[in-house]
Amino acid sequence: MYRVKRTIYVGERAIEVWFGLVSKTKNGKNGKYTVYLLTDDPHNPFNHAEPILSGIASRETAIREAVAYAKQLFRSILKNRES
């Protein structure tokens, strides 16, 4: 699993998020990426990888879409907390 750490800015808050990317290869060719949202630092034994996106053709696109997904997720969480 390829792991990526990103800082997401939602309003005035900065949230550090870990993503995991897995690409299955077939006959030596790159397959589609599946993106996971990691619940904690990858080295934490209690970390859990939750699949959030799949079928993405490139690593850069997968990371970009994962960040957009996480931003929307955290906006929704913060909005529900304020209500």
E strands in the chain: 2-10, 13-23, 33-38, 49-56
Q: What is the pTM of this model?
A: 0.85
Q: What is the pLDDT of residues 20-70, one digit of tens each?
A: 999 877 655 667 899 999 999 989 999 999 999 999 988 899 999 999 999
What is the rounded CA–CA span in Å between residue 18 and residue 12? 20
Amino acid at 47: N
Q: Where are the domains of the chain?
A: 2-82
Q: What are phi and psi of 25, to 5 degrees?
A: -100, 150
